[in-house]
Amino acid sequence: MPTCRSDIIAWVGSSIVPHEGELRAWLRRRALPFQEIDDVVHDSYLRIAQLREVDHIHNGRAYLFTTARSVMLQRVRRERIVRIDSLTEVEALKLEDSNPGPERYVGARLELERIQRLLASLPDRCREVFRLRRIEGISQREIAERMGLSEHIVEAQAVRGLKLLMNAIREEEGRGQHHQGAQGEQRSVFRQNDR
């Protein structure tokens, strides 16, 4: 039974539109030109607008990202000259089962909590720059303007954040191999590296 168009429009407004900025940031991280990002977002909205009902969609964000991936795959397939970076994009866009099993869900939740804990341990300015640059996809120039810093400092803080995270992950994995099952001492790797 088709859903009323006004219900679909309301659903798009509440469940899809709020995630457009995050989608655009995700597309920017894939090094798509701005015009192509606009085209992918536009084509994704077109596909969603053609839906006759939305009751079957439980996660608007996931549906938007899946639609955008599909649009990108279609665009890559249509290209007559296959660029080498397009081939890697196709590999990156292979869709897995959209309904992860309970093990994957729990594993993903634990990994998210781990990353959030590691991010929270970064020094304040470093954490904020890293979040804006790597998670929200904001340009160095815009971050510098927002935070009243030079672009050089923003770049240095983003690199520093990445290095600190990578070191902490390596250290955690090393401890995990040496002390499987044992709870490690709670300490902040970042505070020591901040000196």
pLDDT in tens, 53-102: 888 888 999 999 999 998 888 877 776 544 555 555 555 555 444 555 66
Model pLDDT, residue 144: 92
Percentage helix, strand, coil for the chain under 3-state DSSP, each rounded to 5:
70, 0, 30
- Choose the weakest-confidence range: 19-28, 30-39, 63-72: 30-39
Residue with tokens 């397939």: 77
Specify the higher pLDDT residue, 28 or 187.
28
pTM above 0.85, yes or no: no
Specify the higher pLDDT residue, 46 or 194.
46
Res 51 pLDDT > 50: yes
Q: What is the mean pLDDT of the chain?
A: 76
Mean pLDDT over residues 147-161, rounded? 89
Give φ, ψ of 130 to 5 degrees: -60, -45
User: Quick check: 74 and 32 in contact, CB under 8 A?
Assistant: no
Model pLDDT, residue 180: 47
Provide the token pair at 96. Answer: 């897995």
Provide CATH code, domain 102-193: 1.10.10.10
Model pLDDT, residue 132: 86
Please state the separation of Cα 160 from the chain's center in Å: 20
Model pLDDT, residue 61: 92
